[in-house]
Structure 1
């Protein structure tokens, strides 16, 4: 497993990582006191995250807040579709003070001897609509080096498959397939908003068919010591959905050598021809790890047929050439945070 070494405080897992700067909690996080407290030392209502979720009421129409005291909480977490409006709120001073983690991969075997698969590997699965996570870390700690017998190493930290989800000052840690933003079915639009977050990984570590907006986030590519060193995104946006992955005012960083990481490649699950992935990166800073040819084919699927665009990016990796499709000013006016999130219900979590 490649060791993560970023400036910041220890998470208590032998990993030093941050990437999210301290700052005031959002207005929504200040508005309501926790309904339940999770504390590993037994001083709260529950000692585990899943136990607190199980105790939360089903069918809520208003936020139900689970406060999590600083500590490391191991084990798979599932937020079912029957429990909308849940919020997990880290009560530490910084996101790294609350860590929710598991360590299974696609090829890790279940008790019945069958593999978990990519979706089943997720440390946290969110199927409840209007979920919110604030000020914490969500990680998949699968150790690739310790398990050479496992060749299917996709290890998801978070899988989303619900609408109107918010992640505010959250760290997502993993290697391959860290953050899986999905929907309940092809053609179904599920929206995710991520503000001031940190996402790290190496291969396809932000992927799926959801509409997801990354607002002022840091996107960090790990150095896996190979060429190519990895791919940041692998969108599988359905052709009927005009909005896929949007990165606005973000920072793309890496310790990998210059020119060894691709911004993305088009994922066609089960060779679905209607999965015409979209990644748009606008007004962001891009490091030197991104080469002139910033996008890659995925098997027989050429990147030129996907919806990959940039707009007014800066930094040593923000090159301008025929290999880097750019939005026009008119197109940029259409592909905004508001356009991606608004939908028919006028949802605008970025204004909260």
Structure 2
């Protein structure tokens, strides 16, 4: 059984606040709930903890907050990266369409880590969404040794993700299809790192970027494709266009001596002024066409792809 709830600030919907709508859904309810969110800025620190939801933005919908890691928490100590998230998704089988997830804490040089969206759930997909922040914009599951979590399968299609330092990071298996990956210009010699995967040792796939565009107005040769947050980080770029901001060596080892033997970083079909296959770090991989069969949607997520459609 499907039900639909409308959320708007005008008072003409079922709820004025998104969290109130989510909280109204029974814990053990069956069927899908469609949340139609009408245009507006929803300043709520959200916890989307119910499964089988479809969030549909109508017009420009912004889910925003402004916490950051160094901000004092309830006990006076810094709240930390995890607690800084504007929105948390922990319910399985959720789809978001045409929604902007944003953390407005400010520049990474001032606010440090400030997460726009944290996801720790399976079968979560985003279509035509934006994720806006600076450092640590999109957090996809904490490292396995830190906490009990699921860090499942996450899918992003035609999304826009903006940030500077480690702004796509975590332990999930995540597939990015035709997304715009935007590195902010900090005006530094090293402007940042796009990814910081924490792929568990028992996972075959971490982050896969397919036919994405890596964009920035930062200086040439100033942004790394990624660095390993944990020793078994796995990140692959397939048929992506890379702007000149991407560093020639591509990847950073985060000063980990094990990176050359445990990390899997690969590229295939890179194009644009930031594509320098001959100059990439020696411990990373230039994939062949035959290798790409291991990074299709089916290979990463399994045969049932209905949740990505």
Please indicate, yes or no, whether the TM-score normalized by the shorter chain is above 0.5: yes
Alignment match, 2:42: 73
Deviation, 1:302, is: 5.8
Asked whether the 8 Å contact 1:266–1:301 carries over to 2, the reply is no
CA, structure 1 residues 74+330, in 2 after alignment: closer, same or farther (shift >3 Å)? same
CA, structure 1 residues 168+37, in 2 after alignment: closer, same or farther (shift >3 Å)? same
Q: Does 1:253 align with 2:215?
A: yes
Cα distance in 2, alignment partners of residues 191 and 347 from structure 1: 12
Alignment match, 2:64: 101
Cα distance in 2, alignment partners of residues 182 and 189 from structure 1: 5
Alignment match, 1:284: 240
Map Cα deviations across residues 36-83 of structure 1 (whole Å, 9 max, x no partner). Answer: 111012121111111111112223443211111100000200012xx1
CA, structure 1 residues 61+168, in 2 after alignment: closer, same or farther (shift >3 Å)? farther
Deviation, 1:303, is: 4.6
CA, structure 1 residues 215+349, in 2 after alignment: closer, same or farther (shift >3 Å)? farther
Equivalent residue in structure 1 for 2:161, among 175, 199, 211: 199
**Alignment length, in residue pairs?**
302
Name the TM-score, length of structure 1 as normaliser. 0.81
Superposed CA RMSD in Å reads: 2.1
Equivalent residue in structure 1 for 2:290, among 330, 334, 342: 330
Equivalent residue in structure 2 for 1:90, among 34, 57, 62: 57
Cα distance in 1, alignment partners of residues 243 and 232 from structure 2: 26
Cα distance in 1, alignment partners of residues 295 and 205 from structure 2: 8
Deviation, 1:33, is: 8.3
Q: Does 1:223 align with 2:180?
A: no
Alignment match, 1:348: 305
Cα distance in 1, alignment partners of residues 306 and 234 from structure 2: 21
Deviation, 1:257, is: 0.7
Equivalent residue in structure 2 for 1:319, among 265, 276, 296: 276
The ranges of structure 1 where at least 4 consecutive aligned residues each deviate by more than 3 angstroms after the TM superposition are: 183-189, 299-305
Name the TM-score, length of structure 2 as normaliser. 0.92
Aligned counterparts, 1:128-147, within 5 A: 128-144=91-107
CA, structure 1 residues 200+194, in 2 after alignment: closer, same or farther (shift >3 Å)? same
Asked whether the 8 Å contact 2:144–2:171 carries over to 1, the reply is no
Aligned counterparts, 1:1-352, within 5 A: 35-80=4-49, 83-92=50-59, 97-144=60-107, 148=110, 153-182=112-141, 185=144, 188=150, 190-268=152-230, 275-301=231-257, 303-305=259-261, 306-321=263-278, 323=280, 325-342=285-302, 346-349=303-306, 352=309
Bigger proportion of residues as strand: 2
CA, structure 1 residues 132+52, in 2 after alignment: closer, same or farther (shift >3 Å)? same
Q: Which runs of 5+ in 2 are unaligned?
A: none
Asked whether the 8 Å contact 1:202–1:229 carries over to 2, the reply is yes
Q: Which runs of 5+ in 1 are unaligned?
A: 1-31, 269-274
CA, structure 1 residues 351+75, in 2 after alignment: closer, same or farther (shift >3 Å)? closer
